[in-house]
């Protein structure tokens, strides 16, 4: 019986020590999570405040990675890096110029139709007058319940000068375009030096090789993804153009090109395109079936592309949860607008590759089993 007090005295300190270690570990994890959260908040704030500088530069790096395989082939013939970078920039400008040319002429015709479209929209809204009056009466009743004055609930629309707004916005846009082109040129021209600098920071040969494999993996998968998406969107543009021509929609090539360009911004782009096709149908017809026909045809083609073509083509390149894609898209559009929508999926793909290689590099970069 005398062994029990001895056993209790020995186990007591052990239990206390275990409890103290557990508490310290718990506090350490909480502190670690707090640091991560604060760092994330700071990163978001920096990305938001430095949008005008960081957005074109990040976009330039994404496009530079896409042009990587093409530039490598050009340099294989002994072409200097700065010359291959200039070729990539000129090629990109030619593609943009070709797209603008395809949009310019038919788009100018539809700009003349904007007053007609707006008149038709107003007429349709007039048909919904009863519904709007019902909503207004509900708003008045809600205001009376909450103690507000319905008469004081006014909406003031400022009569801004469009010319002044364009004059204010144009220099900023021009500066971002120049920054993007300069960033693209210098990124492509100096990419070998940047790779060498990154690899030299590794403290061992195996880890350096693992880091090199990660960089190559990012370039290959990102270029494959962008090339595949471009081919898919080109096919979508052709299909939409043919479909609009068959159902008699004017300027079918314009709507095909627009569908292909907007499809680079997944989820959001098709929604915008559907609204545009509804406006086109509204400007051409008065019957409901004919009004929704262009949008319905586009949605059907987009459904086939999204459910069958894209998964079949991109299945081996990208295996990311669609919910993560949606979150990345929402986050980047919220931060950087249209540019964020374009880079959302590539940035998510880069993050996935870095995470896949991260533990491998941290462990010393041994050969994979």
Question: What b/e string do you get for 111-147 counting C-beta neighbours within 10 Å, with b at 16 or more?
Answer: eeeeeeeeebeeeeeeeeeeeeeeeeeeeeeeeeeee
Highest mean predicted confidence (pLDDT) among 66-70, 192-196, 252-256: 252-256
Out of 30-44, 180-194, 204-218, least confident range = 204-218
Report whether 335 contacts 40 (CB < 8 A): no
Element holding 251 (H helix, E strand): none
Measured between alpha carbons, how far is 98 from 80 in angstroms, rounded to an integer?
27
Report whether 168 contacts 175 (CB < 8 A): no
* Band of pLDDT at residue 85, cut at 50, 70 and 90: very high
158-188: pLDDT as tens digits: 445 555 555 566 778 888 889 999 999 999 9
- What is the average per-residue pLDDT within 267-274? 90
- pLDDT score for 124: 64
Question: What predicted TM-score, i.e. pTM, was given to this entire model?
Answer: 0.71
- pLDDT score for 251: 87
Helices 252-262, 205-246: axis angle to 10 degrees equals: 150
């Amino acid at each position: 019986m005398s062994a029990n007090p001895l056993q209790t005295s020995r186990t007591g300190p052990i239990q206390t020590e275990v409890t103290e270690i557990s508490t310290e570990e718990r506090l350490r994890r909480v502190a670690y999570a707090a640091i991560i959260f604060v760092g994330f908040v700071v990163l978001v704030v920096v990305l938001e405040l430095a949008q005008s500088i960081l957005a074109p530069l990040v976009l330039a790096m994404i496009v530079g990675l896409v042009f990587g395989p093409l530039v490598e082939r050009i340099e294989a013939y002994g072409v200097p890096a700065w010359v291959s970078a200039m070729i990539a920039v000129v090629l990109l400008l030619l593609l943009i110029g070709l797209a603008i040319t395809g949009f310019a002429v038919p788009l100018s015709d539809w700009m003349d139709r904007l007053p007609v479209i707006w008149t038709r929209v107003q007429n349709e809204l007039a048909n919904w007058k009863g519904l709007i009056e019902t909503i207004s009466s509900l708003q008045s009743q809600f205001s009376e319940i909450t103690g507000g004055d319905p008469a004081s609930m006014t909406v003031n629309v400022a009569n801004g000068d469009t010319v002044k707004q364009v004059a204010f916005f144009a220099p900023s846009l021009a500066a971002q375009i120049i920054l993007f082109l300069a960033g693209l040129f210098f990124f492509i021209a100096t990419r070998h030096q940047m790779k060498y600098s990154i690899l030299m920071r590794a403290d061992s040969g195996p880890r350096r090789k693992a880091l090199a494999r990660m960089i190559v993996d990012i370039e290959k998968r990102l270029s494959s993804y962008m090339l595949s998406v471009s081919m898919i969107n080109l096919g979508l543009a052709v299909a939409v153009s043919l479909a609009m021509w068959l159902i008699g929609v004017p300027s079918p090539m314009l709507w095909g090109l627009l569908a292909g360009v907007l499809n680079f911004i997944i989820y959001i782009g098709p929604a915008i395109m559907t609204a545009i096709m509804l406006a086109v149908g509204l400007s051409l017809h008065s019957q409901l079936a004919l009004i929704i026909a262009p949008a319905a045809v586009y949605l059907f083609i987009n459904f086939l592309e999204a459910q069958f073509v894209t998964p079949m083509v991109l299945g081996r390149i990208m295996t990311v949860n669609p919910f993560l894609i949606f979150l990345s898209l929402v986050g980047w559009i919220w931060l950087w607008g249209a540019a964020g929508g374009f880079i959302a999926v590539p940035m998510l793909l880069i993050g996935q590759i870095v995470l896949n290689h991260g533990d491998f590099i941290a462990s010393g970069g041994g050969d994979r089993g």
